[in-house]
Amino acid sequence: MFISGRIEDGQLVITDAEDGVPIVLAGEPEPVEGYEAVTRWVEEDGAIRQTWALHPTAEAVARASIEAQRLTAAMFNDREALAVAALFPAWEPGGSYADGERVNYGGRLYRATGAQGADATTAPDAEGAPFVEIEGR
């Protein structure tokens, strides 16, 4: 398609050069983080109109998928959790974990013990740590 343009009444008019069908441009929306603006063209009402849609990026979809899997894994019993241990968050020093919360540390899965949660200053595999290793593989 070839396009042509002209000024009519102080306005730029763009048309298909072959048959004179008007081409109507639309302003590009400002996408929020994790989305991208995608344009397409539609013929409607005797004109070729630009339309925009906001689509999630592949990275945003992947992050959302992993988060959904993690939320689901949190409901698993210990035996089921072992099968998907990589979905559980890695233990981090300086944090705290609720009673029963599971963490991944050194390739093993641990559960925090204690009514008040486990202070994460002691690694889960250390003697006296407020964690118990989940076994059964």
Which residues pair with residue 133 across a beta bridge? 110
**Confidence (pTM):** 0.63
d(C-alpha 106, C-alpha 119), whole Å: 18
User: What order of strands is seen across the sheet that includes strand 108-112?
Assistant: 102-105, 108-112, 131-133
Contact 92, 120 (CB under 8 A): yes
pLDDT single digits (tens) 69-111: 999 999 999 999 999 999 999 998 888 888 899 999 999 999 9
Average pLDDT of the chain?
88
Q: Is the pLDDT of residue 17 over 90?
A: no
Predicted confidence at residue 93, as pLDDT, reads 87
d(C-alpha 11, C-alpha 69), whole Å: 53
Q: Is the pLDDT of residue 120 over 70?
A: no
CB within 8 Å of 40: residues ≥ 6 apart: 50, 51, 53
- For residue 20, CA distances in Å to 9, 15, 41, 45, 132 come to 18, 5, 16, 14, 75
